[in-house]
């Protein structure tokens, strides 16, 4: 069956038109020959903004960050061969983190496969189980009205599949024959889209009953809510905070949940649960788990060792099993806001006030110990108030409170930076409307351990991280994707190895005039490995695990047209953030040099100080 370039482009034009009709606004492209019809159709598609990238790995992670920030599926088009394989890390991250992507891989037609044709590999189900759906798209034959309708239907199905249920990746493999470029204008569409800009296949959700269902979860006197990463907008974090406050349950919220806020939130559970005495004395009689399992290893271990008769209830609307220790006793699937609303009503005032107060008092004690050890401002404000740090990238939240005087603040501001202090100060300095993207190694652990509680879910910056597969690859690209959404300033907290790994992504920032502030914690190697048993293997550890590199990041910034500044103190960090996060500032790398071995010592001093503070109380 003969296929002309005109037929191919007519079919792809209809496909791209339907992507936009279904709400897709962004696509990422990379250069190539076989992908020419895909790339040109996306670039020319009305309603789509096509973000050009030099390499496919950056394009994939840029799309991940953009989809995280917007909640909408993002399309990616790449050429054949290893170009398609370069998307594998981003596809896996999206699958694990529930990020909607539509991956379009150009391919050789069947007669050129497995016969030695150049740039040809087996792309059929290339991403295996990481893709929710795979379709071999045949753009072969005349672009009849029937075939155009099928392409429109396929686009709608791809968008709804990527976004609905458990969001994820739809992989469409598109074999394309030469010629790949048009030699004349396209004819009228033989099957134009539906009137009023409606999708070819619309989607209607049946509304849930207004009256919340009975969930059968028995209220408890000593309840704990564990909130992990959720990226479904502001409704869920706010509902989690309301539930915790209404019930009087202790809220242990990973910053990635957006729910580390309000009067029930406990910021320093990671440090508290490292104290065996506190962990043993704080056994709840109910655990409600929302979202992914938090990063904190002590929290995970504590949940795993709770008595079997303590119900652990997981609320997850998308059927994801975050229970590696097999301790969840019941799963509630369905709308999270509806389930949380039902629990808020059923569990109102169920908690023993003394129970929550004990957690809050321990949290305050941990904050005092942390402040005294890492050199932050003189004391953290009580739960429900911000820290004393001045906010940037937006207005200062109302109700801010300080527990330290001017002299103490001045002393802290001039103290040398360390890694916990960078994480703590950075979260405190960013106001609502800003996004903090955090690398998935040591930086996210420091943010979880040291970030304070915000007054409310809407009064803190949004915090994102690639914690699906937990890799460090593509972190800069994902942060740039988040910045491309245009939803306020984006700041990236990253270590030197992760930045070195993804440094080439900064080319996309320059090509698209994107703003990004990079706060770089540079300890010249993989600092997290010093916390692990492998650090004892001194004959090979430094060269093969810690991997020092000696890179000059000022020179790297100059290569990509970025500004660079060295940070010495907390005052430097706050001052530099103010200018770096202004619109139009471009890319700025703010580098804080630290020592890997001293960082381990400091963390252990923090944990010892928290234990001592708890014992003294």
DSSP string, 151-199: HHHHHHHHHHHHHSSS--EEEEEEE-PSP-S-SS-----SSPPPGGG--
| Residue 99 banded pLDDT, cuts 50, 70, 90 | very high
CA angle 291, 295, 299 (to 5 degrees): 90
| Cβ atoms 163, 75 nearer than 8 A | no
Q: Where are the domains of the chain?
A: 5-181, 223-351, 376-393+410-616
Tokens for 355, please give them: 């129970």
In percent, the amount of the chain with pLDDT more than 70 equals 92
| Cβ atoms 587, 563 nearer than 8 A | yes
Confidence at residue 380, expressed as pLDDT on a 0 to 100 scale = 44
| Cβ atoms 514, 65 nearer than 8 A | no
| Residue 330 banded pLDDT, cuts 50, 70, 90 | very high
| Cβ atoms 446, 420 nearer than 8 A | yes
Tokens for 321, please give them: 């099993």
User: Which of 64-78, 399-413, 431-445 shows the lowest mean pLDDT across its residues?
Assistant: 399-413
Chain-centre distance of CA 484, in angstroms? Answer: 15
Mean pLDDT of 141-167: 94
- Give the pLDDT confidence of 163-175 residue by residue, as tens digits: 998 999 999 999 9
Confidence at residue 381, expressed as pLDDT on a 0 to 100 scale = 42
The DSSP symbol for 487 reads: S
Please give the residue that has the higher pLDDT: either 410 or 21.
Answer: 21
Give the count of alpha carbons within 13 A of 32, CB side only.
Answer: 27
Nearest Cα to Cα of residue 469 among 29, 54, 30, 60: 60
CA distance 358 to 356: 5
For residue 553, pLDDT beyond 80: yes
Same fold, 223-351 and 376-393+410-616: yes
The helix (run of H) or strand (run of E) holding residue 209 is: none
Name residue 463's beta-bridge partners: 436
Confidence at residue 22, expressed as pLDDT on a 0 to 100 scale = 97
The helix (run of H) or strand (run of E) holding residue 378 is: none
Within the chain, how many helices (H) and strands (E) appear? 22, 17
| Residue 322 banded pLDDT, cuts 50, 70, 90 | confident
Please give the residue that has the higher pLDDT: either 454 or 138.
Answer: 454
CATH superfamily, with its number, for domain 5-181: Thiamin diphosphate (ThDP)-binding fold, Pyr/PP domains (3.40.50.970)
Confidence at residue 411, expressed as pLDDT on a 0 to 100 scale = 52
Rounded to 5 degrees, what are φ and ψ at 60?
-65, -45
The answer for residues whose C-beta is within 8 angstroms of residue 269's C-beta and 6 or more apart is: 252, 296, 298, 299, 363
User: Which of 202-211, 280-289, 427-436 shows the lowest mean pLDDT across its residues?
Assistant: 202-211
Please give the residue that has the higher pLDDT: either 318 or 564.
Answer: 564
Per-residue DSSP letters for 110-152?
Answer: GGGTTTT-TT----TTTTGGGEEEEEE----S---HHHHHHHH
Tokens for 467, please give them: 């914690």
Yes or no: is domain 223-351 CATH 3.40.50.1220? yes
Residue with token string 């968008």: 159
- Give the pLDDT confidence of 504-534 residue by residue, as tens digits: 999 999 999 999 999 999 999 999 999 999 9
Confidence at residue 334, expressed as pLDDT on a 0 to 100 scale = 81
CA distance 470 to 487: 25
- Give the pLDDT confidence of 348-401 residue by residue, as tens digits: 999 999 999 999 999 999 999 999 999 864 344 444 434 434 456 643 333 333
| Residue 212 banded pLDDT, cuts 50, 70, 90 | low
CA distance 371 to 412: 9
For residue 407, pLDDT beyond 60: no
Yes or no: is domain 376-393+410-616 CATH 3.40.50.970? yes
| Residue 498 banded pLDDT, cuts 50, 70, 90 | very high
Mean pLDDT of 177-185: 93
CA distance 248 to 240: 12
Dihedral sign for Cα atoms in the order 13, 19, 24, 30: negative
């Amino acid at each position: 069956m003969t296929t002309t370039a005109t037929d191919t482009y007519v079919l792809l034009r209809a496909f791209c038109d339907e992507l936009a009709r279904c709400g897709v606004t962004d696509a990422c492209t990379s250069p190539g020959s076989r992908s020419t019809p895909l790339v040109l159709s996306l670039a020319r598609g009305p309603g789509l903004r096509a973000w050009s990238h030099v390499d496919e790995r950056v394009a994939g992670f840029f799309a991940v960050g953009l989809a995280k920030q917007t909640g909408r599926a993002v399309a990616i088009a790449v050429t054949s061969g290893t170009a398609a394989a370069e998307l594998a890390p981003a596809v896996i991250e999206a699958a694990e983190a529930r990020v909607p992507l539509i991956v379009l891989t150009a391919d050789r037609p069947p007669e050129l496969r497995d016969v030695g044709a150049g740039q040809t590999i087996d792309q059929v189900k290339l991403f295996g189980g990481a893709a929710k759906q795979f379709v071999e798209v045949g753009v072969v034959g005349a672009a009849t009205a029937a075939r155009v309708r099928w392409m429109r239907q396929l686009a709608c199905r791809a968008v709804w599949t990527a976004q609905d249920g458990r969001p994820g990746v739809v992989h469409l493999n598109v074999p394309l024959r030469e010629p790949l470029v048009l030699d004349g204008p396209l004819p009228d569409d033989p099957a134009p889209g539906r009137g009023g800009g409606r999708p070819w296949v619309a989607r209607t959700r049946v509304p849930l009953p207004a009256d919340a269902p009975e969930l059968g979860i028995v209220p408890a006197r000593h309840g704990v809510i564990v909130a992990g990463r959720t990226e479904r907008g502001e409704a869920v974090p706010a509902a989690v905070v309301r539930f915790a406050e209404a019930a009087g349950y202790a809220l242990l919220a990973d910053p990635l949940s957006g729910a580390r806020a309000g009067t029930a939130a406990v910021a320093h559970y990671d440090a508290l649960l490292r104290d065996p005495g506190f962990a043993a004395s704080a056994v709840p009689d109910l655990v409600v788990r929302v979202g992914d399992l938090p990063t904190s290893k002590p929290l995970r271990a504590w949940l795993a060792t709770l008595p079997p008769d303590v119900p652990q209830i997981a609320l997850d609307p998308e059927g994801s099993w975050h229970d590696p220790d097999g301790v969840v006793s019941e799963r509630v699937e369905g709308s999270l806001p509806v389930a949380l609303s039902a629990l808020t009503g059923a569990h109102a005032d169920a908690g023993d006030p003394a129970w929550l107060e004990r957690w809050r008092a321990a949290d305050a004690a941990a904050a005092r110990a942390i402040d005294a050890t890492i050199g932050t401002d003189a004391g953290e404000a009580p739960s429900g108030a911000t820290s004393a740090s001045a906010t940037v990238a937006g207005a200062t939240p109302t109700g801010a409170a300080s527990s330290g005087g001017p002299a103490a603040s001045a002393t802290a501001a001039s103290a040398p930076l360390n890694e916990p202090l960078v994480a703590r100060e950075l979260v405190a300095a960013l106001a609502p409307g800003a996004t903090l993207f955090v690398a998935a190694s040591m930086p996210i652990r420091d943010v979880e351990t040291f970030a304070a509680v915000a007054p409310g879910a809407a009064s803190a910056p949004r915090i994102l991280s690639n914690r699906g597969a937990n890799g460090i690859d593509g972190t800069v690209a994902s942060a740039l994707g988040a910045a491309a959404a245009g939803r306020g300033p984006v700041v990236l907290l990253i270590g030197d190895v992760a930045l070195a790994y993804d440094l080439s992504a900064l080319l996309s920032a320059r090509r698209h005039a994107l703003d990004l502030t990079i706060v770089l914690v540079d300890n010249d190697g993989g600092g997290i490995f010093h916390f692990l048993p492998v650090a004892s293997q001194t004959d090979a550890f430094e060269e093969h695990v810690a991997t020092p590199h000696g890179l000059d990041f000022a020179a790297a910034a100059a290569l990509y047209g970025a500004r660079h500044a060295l940070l010495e103190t907390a005052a430097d960090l706050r001052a530099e953030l103010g200018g770096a996060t202004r619109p139009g500032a471009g890319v700025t790398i703010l580098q804080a040099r630290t020592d890997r071995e001293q960082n381990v010592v400091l963390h252990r001093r923090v944990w010892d100080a928290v234990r001592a503070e708890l014992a003294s109380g």
